[in-house]
């Protein structure tokens, strides 16, 4: 087996991915006067400014009232933090998690801990008027924030590639950046269409995407996950489409023996994978078809997801992708 330090790093990778892969609860709106409602569509270019108060239907179906433009916002997910910067409203961001590391400017923003263990006192000290969460947000933490009068909004794309457009659109509306949100979504869709056009005549190799491996279990993007959808749309054949969700087995991987294996370029994943018993005999390992990729572009369902889709297509098709 690979060294324990590498195992620890892989568990961290798995944990970070799970922050993206699961949903959590949201906040229901109080009874009150009729206010504008935000549905799931991307905002129209005809609307320049957000009218407050407004009601937002979050990713769990709950209605959240945004009384006025948020001025002190805390992000509880890397994808949410990246969206602030893409929208050009990073000045509203007063707090972020330890795992928010892009762009580099986030280092100057106060850390409030992790999504699962946020520092409630720190969030209160920052005078946050809105917390935007994505996944795995504990109900207990949400209740504590609400008791302090802090609004909590859950925006999660779930296991859908298209879901990221909805999240960006809603964030644009909530943060009064609707036009920029629409520009981002349009640009992303154009890039996705361009990539799909380039790969449609190329061959389709069988692919396995490594989320976790080794003594702690095998994890990948199974059927119904947004990464599986990305692999198929990028012109690959996902060998793990015979299971639902993220849990897999070494036995199935050996049985399918994919032509190509995609691994994160972080945490020395490739060197650990190809040197671990049980994986060394795979054809992709023997033929040097274990390809490193910037997993942050793919795992984080944010404004860089279209870039991740293009990177995925390049990794799958190598020199044939032009």
Q: What is the pLDDT of residues 191-248, one digit of tens each?
A: 999 999 999 999 999 999 999 999 999 999 999 999 999 999 999 999 999 999 999 9
Q: Is the pLDDT of residue 2 over 70?
A: no
Please tell me whether residues 275 and 177 are part of one structural domain.
no
Same domain, 207 and 274: yes
Structural domain of residue 184, as residue ranges? 25-189
Domain boundary (189, 215, 242) is at 189
Q: Would you place residue 315 in the very low, low, confident or very high pLDDT band (cuts 50, 70, 90)?
A: very high
127 and 266 fall within a common domain: no
Residues 213 and 134 in one domain: no
pLDDT of residue 24: 32
Q: Are residues 234 and 137 in the same domain?
A: no
Q: Give the domain CATH number at 118.
A: 3.40.50.1980
pLDDT in tens, 100-159: 999 999 999 999 999 889 999 999 999 999 999 987 788 899 999 999 999 999 999 988
Same domain membership, residue 169 and residue 132: yes
Are 246 and 313 in the same domain?
A: yes
Looking at the structure, tell me whether residues 168 and 212 fall in a common domain.
no
59 lies in the same domain as 164: yes
Residues of the chain with pLDDT > 70, as a percent, come to: 85
Could you tell me if 12 and 43 lie in one domain?
no
Average pLDDT rounded to a whole number, residues 171-180: 98
Nearest in space to 106 (alpha carbons), one of 80, 124, 125: 80
Place of tokens 């000045």: 91
Where would I find the beta strands (DSSP E) of the chain? 37-38, 54-57, 63-66, 73-75, 93-96, 110-111, 130-133, 151-154, 206-212, 218-220, 237-238, 247-248, 260-264, 290-293
What are the two backbone dihedrals, phi and then psi, of residue 280, each rounded to the nearest 5 degrees?
Answer: -65, -25
Residue where a domain stops, chosen among 156, 189, 222: 189
Domain boundary among 133, 161, 189: 189
């Amino acid at each position: 087996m690979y060294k324990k330090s590498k195992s620890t790093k892989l568990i961290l990778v798995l944990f970070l991915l799970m922050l993206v892969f699961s949903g959590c609860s949201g906040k229901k709106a109080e009874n009150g006067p009729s206010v504008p409602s935000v549905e799931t569509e991307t905002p129209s270019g005809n609307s320049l400014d957000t009218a407050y108060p407004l009601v937002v239907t979050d990713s769990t179906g709950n209605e959240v009232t945004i009384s006025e433009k948020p001025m002190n916002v805390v992000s509880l997910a890397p994808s949410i933090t990246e969206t602030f910067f893409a929208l050009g409203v990073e000045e509203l961001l007063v707090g972020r998690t330890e795992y928010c590391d892009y762009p580099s400017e986030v280092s100057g923003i106060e850390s409030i801990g992790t999504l699962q263990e946020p520092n409630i006192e720190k969030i209160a000290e920052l005078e946050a008027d809105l917390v935007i969460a994505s996944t795995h947000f504990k109900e207990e933490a949400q209740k504590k924030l609400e008791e302090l009068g802090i609004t909590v909004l859950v925006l999660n794309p779930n296991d859908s590639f298209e879901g990221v457009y909805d999240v960006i659109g809603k964030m644009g509306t909530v943060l009064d950046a609707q036009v920029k949100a629409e520009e981002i979504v349009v640009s992303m869709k154009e890039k996705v269409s361009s990539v799909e056009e380039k790969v449609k005549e190329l061959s389709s190799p069988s692919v396995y995407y490594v989320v976790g491996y080794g003594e702690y279990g095998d994890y990948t993007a199974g059927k119904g996950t947004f990464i599986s959808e990305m692999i198929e749309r990028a012109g690959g054949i996902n060998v793990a489409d015979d299971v639902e969700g993220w849990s897999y087995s070494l036995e199935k991987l050996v049985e399918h023996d994919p032509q190509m294996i995609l691994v994160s370029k972080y945490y020395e994943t490739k060197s650990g994978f190809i040197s671990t018993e049980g994986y060394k005999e795979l054809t992709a390992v023997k033929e040097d078809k274990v390809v490193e990729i910037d997993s942050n572009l793919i795992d984080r369902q944010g404004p860089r997801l279209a870039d991740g889709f293009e990177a995925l297509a390049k990794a799958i098709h190598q020199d044939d992708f032009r």
